[in-house]
Chain A
Amino acid sequence: MKLTVRSLQFTLMQDLRYPVEFLADLIGSFLWLGVILFGASQFSSAQVQLFATGFLLNVILSEPIGVAVGFLTVRGGSAEEAYCAPVPLPVQLAIQGAASAVRALIVNSVIYIGMALLAGFRPTGLLPLLQLTPPLFFASVGVALVVAGAQLLLKKVQAVSGLIMILFVGAAFTPTGVLSKVPAWLPFATGLKAANGGAYNWAEMALYSLLYAGVGLLIFHGCQRLTVRLGLAGAR
């Protein structure tokens, strides 16, 4: 618990310590979303409300995936010190991923409220954003663990994590025509559904989420074991 609080505290501290970067990031995200949603004026206020919820949800859920690679490269360079700590590496990754997701949730809530003010809709989509993030977080951690395992073993997988993040974020903009063809077990399917005003099946969501976390953990352990056997833990 203390480790979680510390990780969150120090993650948020970065935004206070580097305010220019934080504000630029915030404004950039806002403008980017604004250009997409308002640029061609093709969306109504109600559609913007739905899209913003789905889009921001998947942005938040993609955070742990970015952390998975960052944790083992930017911060670590070497995963060895983290590996040798008494807290298992997947738990450390999940904690850091949670810290980043909470930060993203706060930032994206601000963006959402800004969008609501700009587009003139009531920020009611904030509630699903807050409700859906915790259960879906485990699915996101599962995907992040697979990416982290690949990072340990193969190194230089930033492009793969970038690709998955694009899938998450881009999924919110899936054309309505192909919606029915998107399987519900895909980790970004809920965000997609939220972007289209669909109803949520909480039991299904929780099941898939835990399944992702479990499979991710298994794959990560396999990669970790192979990494130690091949002596790649310290390699960059």
Chain B
Amino acid sequence: MEAVTGFSLTLGPGEIHAIVGPNGTGKTSLVRAAAGTLQPIAGTVRLFGQDPVRAGGRLRRRLGILLDGARYLHARWTGWEMLLHQAALYGVRDQVMIDRLEPLWEGLALAPVLDEPIFRLSRGMRQKLCLLLTLLHDPDVLILDEPTLGLDATGIAQVRSLLVSLRQAGKSVLLTSHDLDLLEEVSDGITVMAGGRVRYRAAPTEILRWAAGGYTVTMDLRGAPPGLADRLPAGAQLDGDRLTLPLGTELLSQTLVTLSALGVEIASLRSNCTLETAMGRLGLADGAREADRPEPAIHPDAGPALPG
């Protein structure tokens, strides 16, 4: 069965690339092919110039994978036992493992539960433990399928920081996720898949810029001075202390200049345009119909571009 067709991607050091798209669109097949657990019918996958399907131990030590993570754990073992076992499996000395992972398990708030049997841990805790196991041998390339699955808001924030630190350390990360807020913040590039094909590929900011038409920015001001409405550029609407203006125009910068000149403090600023709404606009939200999707104007190999 052909799950994915026409996919091409080169991932460099210190780069985070995300694959997104509705369920059943071939994301997991792609990451499995990248990890070498699925052999493509046609085409090639190379990690450091080698075929991951035929990879030897040396290449595998450079690769960290998380595929449907929590299933991998031995429910009756403790988290600590899993870590020690994984260290032995990857030939990592215990002390090296501890030095490497201690800041992470502290950061992920896992330290208090490492001595607990895994079946007693929550879904989120298990997912965090899987992340530790994936990072234990300090891999150069990480392939993460849904790394935030089952995590609460704090956990997602912790994973976000972790991904940023991995990029800073020069690691290459290929990930899939439905958490578009996370991807918006950490990804250098996003490939949008639908129906087993690449629809769009761009930086998250590019996707947002394309999808911005019709969305708004809302600012809550800390005490709007009298007469502010008259001094704002046309198109900006002031209602009490709340200022609303269309996104994706010059208005935002003009308004900010005006507010700054008047010394008006902005208490909060938010936009209703997120990667999630952009995906909805692209007809790529989960459950969207194929007919609702705009025809991709750009072939994926032609570079980062979007229709419109």
Co-complex (A, B) = yes
Interfacial residues, chain A to chain B (CB-CB below 8 A): 2-3, 5-7, 10, 13-14, 17-18, 74-78, 80-87, 92, 228-229, 231, 233-234
Evaluate contact between A17 and B53: CB separation under 8 angstroms. no
Q: Is the CB of A84 within 8 A of B71?
A: no
**A75 CA / B72 CA spacing, docked (Å):** 6
Indicate if the CB atoms of B77 and A10 lie closer than 8 Å: yes
B window 12-34: CB within 8 A of A: 28-29, 32
Interface set of B (CB-CB < 8 Å, partner A): 3, 28-29, 32, 35-39, 53, 56-58, 60-61, 63, 65-68, 71-77, 81, 84-85, 88-91, 117, 133
**Bound state CA distance, A182 and B84, in angstroms?**
45
Within 8 Å by CB of B37, from A2, A13, A233, lies A233
Contact present for B28 and A234 (CB under 8 Å): yes
| A interface secondary structure, majority | helix
Assembly CA distance A69 to B33 (angstroms)? 24
A/B interface sample: 15 pairs, CB < 8 A:
A3-B88, A10-B84, A74-B75, A76-B72, A78-B71, A80-B37, A80-B65, A81-B66, A83-B37, A84-B37, A86-B60, A86-B90, A228-B36, A228-B38, A231-B29
Residue of B with least CB distance to A84: B65
Contact of A17 among B63, B76, B85 (CB under 8 A): B76
A74 CB contacts on chain B under 8 angstroms: 75
A3-B85 in contact given A14-B76, A80-B67 (Cβ < 8 Å) = yes
> Please, which residues of chain A bring their CB within 8 A of the CB of B63?
84
A-B contact count (CB 8 A): 89
Bound Cα distance from A92 to B133, whole angstroms:
17
Question: Nearest residue in A to B69 (C-beta to C-beta)?
Answer: A81
Do A10 and B81 have beta carbons less than 8 Å apart? yes
| Pairwise interchain contact B36-A231, C-beta atoms closer than 8 A | no
> Cα distance A3–B154 when bound, in Å?
34
**CB proximity of B25 to chain A, nearest CB, Å:** 15
Q: In the docked arrangement, what's the CA distance between A14 and B77, Å?
A: 8
B90: min CB distance to chain A, Å: 6
**Once bound together, how far apart are the Cα atoms of A136 and B67, in whole Å?**
36
Decide yes or no: A92 and B89 within 8 Å by CB, A78-B72, A86-B61 being known contacts: yes
**Contact residue among A7, A75, A84, A92 (Cβ-Cβ distance under 8 Å from B36):** A84
Residues of A close to B88: CB separation below 8 A: 2-3, 5-6
Measured between beta carbons, the chain B residues less than 8 angstroms from A13 are 77, 81
Q: Which one of B37, B65, B71, B85 contacts A228 once the chains associate, using CB atoms below 8 Å?
A: B37
Task: Give CA–CA (A127, B133) in the complex, Å.
Answer: 41
B133 to chain A, nearest CB (A): 8
Interchain CA distance A78-B72 in the complex, whole Å: 6
- A81-B65, A86-B57 as given contacts; A7 in contact with B32, CB under 8 Å: no
- Contact partner of A233 among B38, B74, B75, CB < 8 A? B38
Q: Complex Cα distance A234/B69, Å?
A: 11
| B65 with A10: CB separation less than 8 A | no
The answer to whether A78 and B81 touch across the interface, beta carbons within 8 angstroms, is no
With A and B bound together, what is the CA distance between A229 and B60 in angstroms? 19
Is A76 in contact with B71, judged by CB distance below 8 angstroms?
Answer: yes
Within the assembled complex, what's the spacing in Å between the Cα atoms of A231 and B2?
11
Tell me the complex Cα distance, A14–B37, Å: 31
Tell which of A78, A82, A86 has the most Cβ of chain B within 10 Å: A86
Q: Contact check: which of B32, B58, B90 meets A234 at CB < 8 Å?
A: B32
In the bound assembly, the distance between CA atoms of A20 and B150 in angstroms comes to 32
For B37, the chain A residues whose CB sits under 8 A away are 80, 83-84, 228, 233-234
Contacts of A86 in B (CB 8 A): 56-58, 60-61, 89-91
**A155 CB, min distance to chain B CBs, angstroms:** 14
Query: Inside 8 A of A18's CB, which chain B residues have their CB?
Result: 76
CB distance from B26 to the nearest CB of A (A): 11
Find A3's partner among B32, B75, B89 (CB 8 Å cutoff). Answer: B89
Nearest-Cβ distance from residue B9 to partner chain A, whole angstroms: 19
Q: How far is the CA of A80 from the CA of B64 in the complex (A)?
A: 12
Task: State whether A228 touches B39 (Cβ < 8 A).
Answer: yes
User: Given A17-B117, A86-B90, A87-B89, are A233 and B32 neighbors across the interface (CB < 8 Å)?
Assistant: yes
